[in-house]
Amino acid sequence: MVVKTALRFGLIIIALLILFQLSNASLFIPDIPADAVIGLTAVVLIALGIYLGGNIKKPKVIEVKPTLVKDEEKIKSLRISARELEVLQLISDGLSNQEIGEKLFISESTIKTHVSNLFVKLDVKRRTQAVIRAKEWRIIV
């Protein structure tokens, strides 16, 4: 890395020296218009600046969250129903069976049915595992 930087700067210095020489020489050669040489030099120098700027400036670092998209195919393949998915999401939100029932206006015993069916489909034994599995398989966000 250090060698690369040194090499780069060496090349830049050589390029600059050549330009200066050319610039000086042109003043005494009438065949080439001085303006053209100056213009060319300007363009080369600006290009050099742009090149240097790209390397000197530290890159912008932005944090990106992994794309949180549900895998609808997986949900279908596991034959998880819409209601079951709702319950699964609420389990993941930390709600108890009773709270889920209240939120969905259905009895706790129905929630238990959904939960049991979910565990079979997700191949887990506990709700904490269900949450992990469901996120692994991108069934819930």
Partner DNA sequence: ATTGCAGTCATACTTAAGTACTAAATTCTT
Partner DNA sequence: AAGAATTTAGTACTTAAGTATGACTGCAAT
125 is an interface residue for DNA by CB under 7 A: yes
Quick one: which of 96, 85, 87, 59 has its CA closest to 138?
85
1 binds, among a second copy, DNA, none (CB under 5 to 8 A by kind): none
Please select the residue that binds DNA; options are 37, 75, 115, 139, rule is CB under 7 A. 115
Residue closer to a second copy, measured from CB, 21 or 81: 21
Give the C-alpha separation, 14 to 4, whole Å.
15
What SS3 state is found at 36?
helix
134 is an interface residue for DNA by CB under 7 A: no
Residue closer to DNA, measured from CB, 69 or 120: 120
Q: φ and ψ at 88, to 5 degrees?
A: -60, -45
23 is an interface residue for DNA by CB under 7 A: no
Distance from the first to the final alpha carbon of the chain: 42
Q: How far is the CB of 40 from a second copy (least distance, A)?
A: 12
